[in-house]
Structure 1
Amino acid sequence: MPDLHSPIELLRPPRIEFGGGTLSVIRPWVEERGFRRILVVADAFNAGRVDLLGLPGAVTVFGEVKPEPDLPNLEKVLAVAEAMNPDLVIGFGGGSAMDLAKLVAVLPGSGQTLHEVVGPEKVAGRRAALIQVPTTAGTGSEGGTRALVTDPATQNKLAVQSRHMLADLAVVDPDLTMTVPPAVTAATGVDAMAHCTEAFTSRRAHPIIDVYALEGIRLVGRFLPRAVADGGDREARAGLALASMYGGFCLGPVNTTAGHAVAYPLGTRHHIPHGLACALIFPHTLAFNAPSVTDKTGLVMQALGLPASADPGAVLEGAHRFCEGLGVEMRLSRLGVPEDDLGAMATEAHAIRRLLDNNPRDLGRDGILAMYKAAF
């Protein structure tokens, strides 16, 4: 694993506003720069509350972002952007809205297609300014440079990473998450924790990122049960928003590992929300990796309020109990996944080398299939 001598690049939005009431900074920021053609990219719910952003002048709203955006969804919002030529794009919603906003800020008028920019640093440049405003505490996409879109033809996620997709302004107002229902709060919170845990235990783990990762896990362990029990708990909502942002900081320089690779087919093939998929898989990959990262696994368990252990059985039981205690459905069979598809899912997950190659312990197709069967 990397040590203090290992080179690493940290990219952050040049301005991050965090805390209750920070939405008020958006209007003066926009007015100072004279933006006139504003496109807000949002899901249907957040499209109905765009007025909260306090934007000046006429605003175009694309309010059709899907929970797991695919190519047709991207093409639809790109067509809107091509027609209006925005000088400012705002992602307003969860990770799906913010990921599409990143692509809308760089692709229209560039001459590049999505497939041409898949991978690291292939985007030619920025076409519009970008503000990111998260309304869930899960992906941390507001602080990162990566966007994911599902290709229906292959049922695989296409990952684009570019410094040109970094927000000019990220506004993290935890009060926006107060309306998130308990089940979504739980699933997205575990997603944030999974980002931190996978980066913390990755082969590419770095001491700089470890600080964000471990603190993010601690924040989830402390505040997620509270937010699930009482959605109006402002301190808990703020703690989760911070954990989510820290998880986003982990993604660019280190990224996720087996947990996300094994979770992806649940979303692409069976349309299980990403946070729920990550939560269901999390105990299985944490336990599998425990023998290779014993000290760090113990710290993860402690951060979640569980007894420190690197014993795979104890880790699996403890992490499973943590997720189940949040009300997360932990059985694939109860989420509509057919048992006869587990083999194809394992094959698909095993092909996601950009993540599995970072895993601290080699995980073969048979091992992935075993996890699916154990979770079924």
Structure 2
Amino acid sequence: MRLDRPLEMFRPTTTRFGTGQLTTLSEWLEARRVRTVLVVSDPFNATRIDRLGIGAPAVFSDMAAEPDLNDLQAALTAARACDADLVIGFGGGSAMDLAKIVAVLLRSEKGMADIVGPNRAPAREVGLVQIPTTAGTGSEVGTRALITDPLSLNKMAAESPHMIADLVIIDPELTRSVPPAVTAATGIDALAHCVESYTSKRAHPLIDGYALQGIELVGRYLPQAVRNGDDLEARAGLSLAAFYGGVCLGPVNTTAGHAVSYPLGTRHKIPHGLANALIFPHTLAANASTVPEKTARICQALGGEADPTSETAVRDVAAAFCRGLDLDMTLSGHGVPANDLETMAREAHGIRRLLDFNPRDLSERDILALYEAAY
């Protein structure tokens, strides 16, 4: 936590935040003489492409909730078919991650396997715009993108400054249509990004400020947005929290919470935000005694007081916050079979790029115990 420890941050060239900012997109594109646009979107947001105000762009939306290499190849084919010179990610984290990868690979001979890891992606030759429609992943501001290998079911992660967008538009109005359950799950995803970065072995004072503000924003506004989805102040607060979480991901990144949640998505198709919510109280509690002061602040932001030396007390505070959002917090309630917990624990334990920076060393047996507690 030394203030003089080196840290590098990347940010989008331009970020436009606030209600009504989506209306500025067409003017921005015109000023840059963009010819052909490919919008990468999920099936729902593909039905409201007209809100972008840019006519009838080419759209790729035939993607799974957790996109895999087949989705990537199909998106690249669509982008090359229309000779896109700009890619727009319009949706949640999956659409924006896919848009990043399409943008860096579009005019390259490389494939996904060639760019896995840090700083291996080629320089982008096309523009990139990110427009989130949920308040969760913070992918709009991040340098990373993840895609699933359909054979191994492992997440493949690429990280590069070339995947930073030229323009980000965060318009909270776009999130008003998100249902309460999805609002809750994506909000916990934003919370997890901030918490895991805040408590990571790589935590840094420069990032801690963003992380703590993000945690406090979720604690204040997520219950409000779940109760009343038309509350634009609450929606804006969550959008800002998600953005802060994305800022944290680049230089610090997530730890055990995400590693343990990934098999829930890849193996059992549980949406990423919900998977993080189901695991969040348990990893927070497991790490509490290693980072007690920070854990106490997190609990306070979530409306509770807990002795950070007590895993039970910390878990109770976090679980109460999540249950207050009307989330079923059991793995069994979401169709995860008990006989798969050991396999999931083995897979999660292998995600060393995240677990090596968790504040506490977790064995495969420890991770199995987390799944069993969440079951």
**Residue correspondence of structure 1 range 252-267 to structure 2 within 5 A:** 252-267=250-265
Question: Does the 8 Å CA contact 2:306/2:313 hold for their aligned counterparts?
Answer: no
Question: Does the 8 Å CA contact 2:302/2:317 hold for their aligned counterparts?
Answer: no
Matched with 2:212 is 214
Matched with 2:297 is 299
**Distance (whole Å) between structure 1 residues aligned to residue 225 and residue 51 of structure 2:** 23
- Are 1:115 and 2:105 matched, yes or no? no
**Distance (whole Å) between structure 2 residues aligned to residue 212 and residue 29 of structure 1:** 28
Matched with 2:70 is 72
Structure 1 stretches lacking a partner, 5+ long: none
**Distance (whole Å) between structure 1 residues aligned to residue 328 and residue 104 of structure 2:** 37
**Residue correspondence of structure 1 range 186-201 to structure 2 within 5 A:** 186-201=184-199
**Distance (whole Å) between structure 2 residues aligned to residue 146 and residue 127 of structure 1:** 18
- Are 1:32 and 2:31 matched, yes or no? yes
* Residue identity in the other structure for 1:306: G
Pairwise CA distance, 1:308: 4.4
**Distance (whole Å) between structure 1 residues aligned to residue 208 and residue 121 of structure 2:** 29
TM-score (norm 1): 0.98
Matched with 2:2 is 3
Question: Does the 8 Å CA contact 1:212/1:250 hold for their aligned counterparts?
Answer: yes
Matched with 1:320 is 319
Count of residue pairs the alignment pairs up: 374
Pairwise CA distance, 1:353: 0.2
Say which SS state the counterpart of residue 228 (structure 1) adopts. Answer: helix
Say which SS state the counterpart of residue 13 (structure 1) adopts. Answer: coil
**Residue correspondence of structure 1 range 117-132 to structure 2 within 5 A:** 117-132=115-130
State which of 69, 93, 96 in structure 1 corresponds to 2:94.
Answer: 96
State which of 159, 162, 167 in structure 2 corresponds to 1:161.
Answer: 159
Matched with 1:352 is 351
Matched with 1:334 is 333
TM-score (norm 2): 0.98
Matched with 1:18 is 17
Pairwise CA distance, 1:328: 1.3
Structure 2 stretches lacking a partner, 5+ long: none
* Residue identity in the other structure for 1:150: T
Matched with 2:370 is 371
Question: Does the 8 Å CA contact 1:289/1:360 hold for their aligned counterparts?
Answer: yes
Pairwise CA distance, 1:66: 2.1
Question: Does the 8 Å CA contact 2:86/2:128 hold for their aligned counterparts?
Answer: yes
**Distance (whole Å) between structure 1 residues aligned to residue 61 and residue 97 of structure 2:** 14
Matched with 1:137 is 135
Pairwise CA distance, 1:127: 2.4
Question: Does the 8 Å CA contact 1:299/1:308 hold for their aligned counterparts?
Answer: no
Say which SS state the counterpart of residue 176 (structure 2) adopts. Answer: helix
**Distance (whole Å) between structure 1 residues aligned to residue 83 and residue 365 of structure 2:** 49
* Residue identity in the other structure for 1:267: G
Question: Does the 8 Å CA contact 1:150/1:156 hold for their aligned counterparts?
Answer: yes
RMSD value, Cα: 0.8
**Distance (whole Å) between structure 1 residues aligned to residue 247 and residue 83 of structure 2:** 30
**Distance (whole Å) between structure 2 residues aligned to residue 343 and residue 34 of structure 1:** 54
Which piece of structure 1 moves more, 302-311 or 5-14? 302-311
Pairwise CA distance, 1:85: 2.0
Say which SS state the counterpart of residue 179 (structure 1) adopts. Answer: coil
Question: Does the 8 Å CA contact 1:107/1:127 hold for their aligned counterparts?
Answer: no
* Residue identity in the other structure for 1:65: M
* Residue identity in the other structure for 1:233: D
**Distance (whole Å) between structure 2 residues aligned to residue 127 and residue 154 of structure 1:** 31
* Residue identity in the other structure for 1:52: R
**Distance (whole Å) between structure 1 residues aligned to residue 364 and residue 76 of structure 2:** 37
Matched with 2:248 is 250
Pairwise CA distance, 1:65: 2.8
Question: Does the 8 Å CA contact 1:144/1:249 hold for their aligned counterparts?
Answer: yes
**Distance (whole Å) between structure 1 residues aligned to residue 27 and residue 143 of structure 2:** 25
Pairwise CA distance, 1:312: 1.1
Pairwise CA distance, 1:257: 0.3
Matched with 1:205 is 203
Give CA-to-partner distance per residue, 1:284-330, whole Å, 9 cap, x none: 00000001000000010111111143021100111111111101121
Pairwise CA distance, 1:111: 0.6
Identity of aligned residues (%): 60
Give CA-to-partner distance per residue, 1:162-214, whole Å, 9 cap, x none: 10010000000000000000000000000000000000000000001000000
Question: Does the 8 Å CA contact 1:3/1:206 hold for their aligned counterparts?
Answer: yes
* Residue identity in the other structure for 1:193: L
